[in-house]
Amino acid sequence: MEPKLSREAYIQAMRRRVEEMLGKVADAVNDAAPGRIIAGSEETVRDLFADLRREAFEQAVQMRVDAAEAAFPPSEGPGDATVQTE
């Protein structure tokens, strides 16, 4: 079975980013002019979620790659190999 990323570690790694992004969503909605809340914040909110989606996927992929690399011991260097002579 190929190594997988830790679900708990991934959530912990992303928690700060998610909370920051949600704060920015709240700011965008609050900064929109009265009567134009949707029109004044929708694009910003969409862009924030697009950035978070990209960051979340990149983080997950990187953690999966890191887990796979950690599962393999480092290779021996050329100086570590024993030479057999006849």
Contacts of 60 (CB under 8 A, 6+ apart): 5, 10
Q: Estimate the share of the chain in helix, then strand, then coil, as percent rounded to the nearest 5.
A: 70, 0, 30
80 pLDDT above the threshold of 60: no
Domain boundaries, the chain: 7-72
What is the percent of the chain where pLDDT is above 90? 76
What is the percent of the chain where pLDDT is above 70? 88
Q: Residue 18 in 3-state DSSP?
A: helix
84 pLDDT above the threshold of 70: no
Indicate the range of 8-17, 56-65, 67-76 predicted with least confidence: 67-76
CA 46 – CA 33 distance, rounded (Å): 18
